[in-house]
Structures are given as C-alpha cells and as structure tokens.
Chain A
Amino acid sequence: DARVTQTPRHKVTEMGQEVTMRCQPILGHNTVFWYRQTMMQGLELLAYFRNRAPLDDSGMPKDRFSAEMPDATLATLKIQPSEPRDSAVYFCASGLGQPNEKLFFGSGTQLSVL
C-alpha cells in the first residue's frame, strides 16, 4: 500500500535546539499539508503546498518555523530554536489536489522539547 512516510517517529530535544521533521508524500501526489496536534488546540494547519509551492503558511509561527519542499518526494518542517510549547505531534498529509478529495496522513512525529 502507498503511504505517507514521516521521520523521525519520536524526537526528544532540549530547548533551543534545531528540529527537522521529514515527510515523503505518496508518489504522484502534488499537495502536502503539515498539521500540528495538541490536546489543547487539537489539529492546527501549519502549512500547505501545491506542486512544491507554498500556498498557505498562515498557521505557522514565522519567527521559528519554516517549511520547504526541496523536491517532489520530500517535505521538511524545521523549528529553530525549539521551545517547550512546540511539544506536539506533527502530521504530514498528501493528496492529488483534486476537489473534495481525501488526504492521506503519515503516522506523525511526536516531538518533546524539554
């Protein structure tokens, strides 16, 4: 089965360190989304790409977060410097960009910033 792959699955780091999360979308998919899940805020959309171009990153704190797609098979989400409030599960999802379509989610990266 085709699936979205996220690495690492778990990351524990200290405040102030750089964190990089990676996502491999399903081959052929042209939309990629980054979501953050916390108990308090639920699922928040951080950034959205179509054909590797960022379309919406209004949900992302710009001072410390950055999202890129170096190529069609890789999306990255970086936090620099990390803070304890960034502790959450970060999900990547991909799709074909068709109207009303379903998204395929990865298993997430569980980030703990101490």
Chain B
Amino acid sequence: GDSVTQMEGPVTLSEEAFLTINCTYTATGYPSLFWYVQYPGEGLQLLLKATKADDKGSNKGFEATYRKETTSFHLEKGSVQVSDSAVYFCALMEYGNKLVFGAGTILRVKS
C-alpha cells in the first residue's frame, strides 16, 4: 500500500539556519504530495502541496519539489525562525482523497 517515510527527529537548529526535512513515498499511481504542520496543542494545517511531477509547492518561505524519479518531496527553508518550531508531516493523497501521513518530524529552533 501507499506509504510515506520521513527523516527521524527531533531536528534542532539555530535561528537563521537552513532546514531540510527528507520525505520519500511509495505509491501505486501518481499521488498528490503535501506538507502539513502541527503547532503545540493544535490540529494540523496545510503548509504546501504539489500535485504533479516537478511541481514546486511554497508557502511562508518553505519549499518542496515533487521529484518523481526519486519519489521524494523534501521540505526546505533557507532561514528558520523560532516560530517555525513545530511537528512537520509529509503526506500523500491518491485515490479517494485519503491522506496517508509520515511519522512526523519534530523541529526545534533555538534563538
């Protein structure tokens, strides 16, 4: 079945550092790919998405490119802030609009 694998955390960075969170997927077809973010005590919010190969999703300084050849959708940000501290989930959606999530990666940004 479909699955998503994310790098394990926690990832701890200093403010203004470069961020990469790796995500790879397994799917039978051509899924849409998403990054969701969860702040403490809250539900998940969509951060960005890409619906086809080579698409780049971007939002709030975060970017991810849909790489079909490597089945990857790595999340990047050039300069993180303390307010970016959260849990980040990579997810795919194939048939039936069901989201399949990765395990989540905790990001901690220190000032």
Chain A residues at the B interface, C-beta cutoff of 8 Å:
4, 31, 33, 35, 42-43, 45, 48, 55-56, 91, 93, 95, 97-103, 105-108
Contact = CB atoms under 8 A, between A and B. Distances in A.
A91 B44 contact: yes
B96 interface: yes
Contacts of A101: 97
A4 B49 contact: no
Contacts of B42: 107-108
Contacts, number: 51
Contact of A43 (B32, B34, B93, B101): B101
A44 B92 CA distance: 13
Chain B contact-residue range equals 20 to 34
A106 B45 CA distance: 9
18 contacts: A4-B43, A31-B97, A33-B98, A42-B104, A45-B99, A45-B100, A56-B96, A91-B43, A93-B99, A95-B97, A100-B49, A100-B93, A101-B97, A102-B34, A102-B46, A102-B49, A106-B43, A107-B41
**Residue of A91, A95, A100, A107 with highest tally of chain B CB at under 10 A:** A100
Nearest to B34: A102
Interface of B: 32, 34, 36, 41-46, 49, 51, 89, 93, 96-104
B32 A108 contact: no
A100 B93 CA distance: 7
Given A100-B51, A102-B34, A33 B99 contact: yes
A56 B49 contact: no
A98 B34 CA distance: 15
Contacts of A107: 41-43
A109 to B, nearest CB: 11
Nearest to B101: A43
Contacts of A100: 32, 49, 51, 93
Contacts of A31: 97
